Amino acid sequence: MPAKKVARQSVKRSQRNRSVRSSTRSTIVRALRSMGSGDLEAAEPAVLQAVSALDKAVQKGVVPKKTASRYKSRLSARLNHLRAAEPA
């Protein structure tokens, strides 16, 4: 392929990947903040959104599969810790 076309494609891909990566990070931070506040009712849907965003990022090839798995594991461990600390 011509170098100019490859360069154009590279720019398009990097912009697309940057937006996906940024939105994924934002949902993860949102989930962590909601868990940090101790509000279980706000934390559960935020964690589900973060897990969904990570799965979509993996499908798009932006985040490696094992990296996403590690993030999901850490988020769910924190959520389970929050659930255990919550009075029944």
Class of domain 3-85: mainly alpha
Please report which residue ranges of the chain form alpha helices under DSSP H. 3-36, 40-59, 65-85
Q: What residue segments make up the domains of the chain, in order of their start?
A: 3-85
Compute mean pLDDT per 10 residues along the chain, 88 residues long, and list them: 94 94 97 93 96 97 97 97 84
What pTM was estimated for this model as a whole?
A: 0.88
Q: Over the stretch 70-87, which tens digit does the pLDDT of each residue have?
A: 999 999 999 999 999 877
Q: Could you tell me how far CA 87 lies from the centroid of its own chain?
A: 29
User: What are the residues whose beta carbons fall under 8 Å from the beta carbon of 24, sequence distance 6 or more?
Assistant: 50, 53, 54, 56, 57, 62, 63
